[in-house]
Amino acid sequence: MDKETVGIIGTGWVGTSVAISTLHAGIAQRLWLHDLRAEVAEGEAMDLAHGAAFYPACEVAAVPLAQMREADVVVVAAGRNGRPGESRLDLLRDNARMATEVGQMLRGFGGVVVMVSNPVDVLTRVLQAASGLPPERVIGTGTLLDTARLRQIVGRQLRVAPGSLHIQVLGEHGDSSVPVWSGARLGGRPLRALAQWDAAFEPALAQQMRRAAYEVIQRKGATNHAIGLVTTRVLRALLLDERSILAVSRVQTGACGLQGVALSLPSLIGAGGALEVLEPEMDELERAALAASAAVLERAHASLS
């Protein structure tokens, strides 16, 4: 392709938030939308195109599903959203079929796939298997959103900008996620060495992070804006070949002793996908929590068979 093209499958709350965030970021020259409800995708494309005077040049169009194979990056935001009181893994059976069908359609695809739909880790694994694409070219947004939420929560606690905090959340995007408090830094100093920090804060702040999506869903029915921004951050790293380190999900091939399960670890993101997985320093409790998170995801995937 002579232009960078992003395709988005699914134009519900999440897909449209990804679309508007991508347009404002100015990282694509073509934005293609697809939805089973063809008229909705067409309407969203028209509505977004009407704002062309206010974002960097980008052609926006609704396209048939098969045309997504010609994109550079395909974002999968199809499937249903979570319901009040429902865990992400409860969504699994309803959305796994969608991931399988999309993966089969993308067999032989030459670009990168970004899975956004939940439960994102298991669906990343399902789509990678169905597509036959290399693990590095099927990425889930994973715990990048959990990381952003925790930085916002801790930033509010310390009265500093969230972007100045270096904290990672790894493992499942869900209830077994693992905040790596032992490696958290502010201004190069360990968080736990700060006079204004007390490790007793950590369990409550982690629980607040894990409950964040449920609190939003209770009030408005879905989460969409933050994940739109998160997805665009991944797209920027891919399309601009940034080689940024981001906590994203992919099928693991040995890092931290994990094989075959899709979950989030720090990964080098560039034009070819999640090119390298880095093994972070963790204390013993965090390593045990990561192993437990992997086990949760293994059981969820096994339940499909």
User: What residues act catalytically?
Assistant: 173
Whose tokens are 């992003």? That residue is 6
CA–CA–CA angle 146, 293, 243 (5° rounding): 50
CA angle 102-87-228, nearest 5°? 55
Q: Which of 248, 239, 240 is nearest to 276 (CA)?
A: 248
Backbone angles phi, psi at 85, to 5 degrees: 80, 0
Do residues 239 and 72 touch, judged by C-beta distance below 8 A?
yes
Q: If you count them, how many residues does the chain have?
A: 305
Measuring CA to CA, which residue among 249, 14, 216, 250 is closest to residue 147? 249
Structure tokens at 166: 């270096």
Cβ density class 179-191: b for 16+ within 10 Å, e for less: bbbebbebeeeeb
